[in-house]
Amino acid sequence: MFESKVFRLWFIAALTLWFVLFYQFNQLSFLLEHWYYPAIMVAGAFVAGVTPEGGGAVAFPVLNIFLNIDRTMARDFSLMIQSVGMTSASIFILSHKANALKTYRPLLVFIPVAFIGFVLGMQLLQQLPVYIMQALFLSLITSFAVVYSFGKHRGSKASLDLTKPMDFVLLLLMLIAGGMCASLFGTGADIILYTLLVTRFRMQEKVATHMSIMLMAAISVLGYAYRHFVDQGLTAYQVQTWLCAYPVVLLMAPLGAYVLHRINKEIMLYAIAVLNVAQLLYFLCYNPSLDKLIWACVFTLVLSTGFFLLIRSLSRKAQSVTQPQLDRLRSKA
């Protein structure tokens, strides 16, 4: 994992910065009292490196739903911690010799568009009822994980190919929607971009995963900065919790990206799907209400149907491409 000189330098510099910041702004006693923050991110950061779901897909529901921490604080923690973990994973990906840097050039357009969506979300969506946001988020990650895990979703293209004007429009709209999701939950832009890349544009899932990781890393850094410099909404307590989990995600997210090249990813995806289903069930069973049930069912039905149709469309396109090739091979035989 540390073969790249660039990544080694980044890791040493980032770890040194953590020591300095922790010494100035945190205390060991605070870390011991808030041990669950780094514990949560052991799993969260690994998920961020190995799948299209960001670390916030673990951090947000655990903090907001299981531990009853305020939604805004859970969202901010997701952004803050991903700004380290997913940035670390991104640097690992970009410094890996097997990855062509020109493949990721579209991110130079993706990132500012998604950040516009983030700003719009911060201005327009923050007054939605919390239980509706929770239902939407859990339905989003659960629907995606289940359909994606059990679907035939293998793309074949190694780079993004935009040929139709409608492709540009769709991509821009989805990036804005992803940024708005990130403004609510601290994650979500990565899932939306990944789904679009592997379905509409039939990209290889490894490349699409890398691009979704880098997009979410950038939105996390920009969102973190927006909350601090524009909203001035970050507290000393939030900085301390961030510093508790900082070194964990610094290592675990790139470790996930490293493991992505070496494991049977299907097993990991099934495990994540089960985890997300369990989170949704817990949400429905904890302080149950008819409103929560209705919103969760509606969101899950709509999102599952959408993901299913997109992935089925990809499978059919892949079959239509490979079938003529099979026919030619059979005729030669």
Using one digit for the tens of pLDDT, what is the confidence trace for 70-123? 999 999 999 999 999 889 889 988 888 777 788 899 999 999 999 999 999 999
Whether 260 maps to a domain, the answer reads yes
Domain that holds residue 50: 5-324
Note whether residue 212 is domain-resident. yes
Q: Collapse the DSSP code of 153 into the 3-class scheme (helix H, G, I; strand E, B; otherwise coil) and give the result.
A: coil
Burial class (CB in 10 A: 0-12, 13-18, 19+), 238: middle
Question: Taking all residues of the chain, what is their mean pLDDT, rounded to a whole number?
Answer: 84
pLDDT in tens, 243-295: 999 998 888 877 776 776 666 667 667 777 787 788 788 888 878 889 989 99
pLDDT at 326: 43
Question: 207: closest CA among 216, 198, 199, 215?
Answer: 198
pTM summary value:
0.85
Percent of the chain with pLDDT over 90: 39
The token pair that represents 235 in the structure block: 């507290």
**Residue 331 domain flag:** no
Domain contains 329: no
Cα of 81 vs its chain's centroid, Å: 12
Phi, psi (5° rounding) for residue 193?
A: -65, -45
CA dihedral 182, 63, 251, 20 (to 10 degrees): 100
Evaluate whether residue 192 is within a structural domain. yes
Q: What per-residue confidence (pLDDT) applies to 329?
A: 44
Number of domains in the chain: 1
Measure Cα distances from 92 to 10, 96, 111, 137 in Å. Answer: 9, 6, 19, 28
> What is the spatial distance between Cα 265 and Cα 258, in angstroms, rounded to a whole number?
12
pLDDT tens track for 118-149? 999 999 999 988 889 888 888 888 888 788 77
Q: Look at residue 333 and tell me if it is in a domain.
A: no
Would 175 be classed as within a structural domain? Answer: yes
The answer to whether position 176 is within a domain reads yes
Q: Bigger pLDDT: 204 or 223?
A: 223
Residues with Cβ within 8 Å of residue 251, at least 6 apart in sequence: 11, 45, 88
**Residue 44 or residue 223, greater confidence:** 223
